[in-house]
Amino acid sequence: MELRHLRYFVAVAEEGSVTLAAERRLHTAQPSLSRQIRDLEMEVGAQLLVRSVRGIELTAAGRAFLDHARLALAQVEAAGDAARRASRPAKATFVMGFLTGTEMDWFPEAVRLLHDELPSIEVILVSQTSPELASALLRSKVDVAFLRPEPE
């Protein structure tokens, strides 16, 4: 059994028609799709569809097979997603907290230099008050914070 058989069967079941599934979803010829469904039924050893002039109806075996076919296709998609995520590891981040004050004179240049030296690290900027930045620093929400003493 091949994945395409599962995709074909799910499309036919969801469209309710071999012809509609062939035209709308699978972009293939109806006779070829019918043959693939018959091959699948032979391999499974059970009739999965009952064909009529109004379309198709799933047999009990077809309903049971449909649930598992959908699950298998979802698992295959999840496996592909996992592989793609693993091949592109998350970029390291460096979170810098700052105030909107005098550091605005030198801060952009500091960020540019940091990016030039460490291009693989994403620099995230956070602007908050000194007490908020101190709290964020203690909770490891920022990696570095530029603070000034609060008036008493």
Do residues 64 and 108 both lie within one domain?
Answer: no
Query: Is the same domain home to 55 and 106?
Result: no
Could you read off the pLDDT of 7-31 as tens digits, one per residue?
999 999 999 999 999 999 899 999 9
What is the C-alpha separation between 66 and 58, in angstroms, rounded? 9
Q: The domain that contains 56 carries what CATH number? A: 1.10.10.10
pTM of the entire predicted model: 0.58
Same domain, 7 and 81: yes
- Does 27 share its domain with 60? yes
104 domain-assigned: yes
| pLDDT tens sequence across 29-68 | 999 999 999 999 999 999 999 988 888 999 999 999 998 9
Residue 139 is part of a domain; what is its CATH number? Answer: 3.40.190.10
The predicted pLDDT at position 104 comes to 65
Domain span including residue 132: 92-145
CB atoms under 10 Å from CB of 109, counted, come to 9
**Range 61-65 contact pairs with CB under 8 angstroms and sequence separation of 24 or more:** 62/13, 65/9
Residue 151 maps to a domain: no
Q: Is residue 150 part of a domain?
A: no
CA distance 26 to 147: 60
- Position 103 scores a pLDDT of 63
Strands (E), the chain: 49-52, 55-58, 92-98, 121-127, 144-145
How many structural domains compose the chain? 2
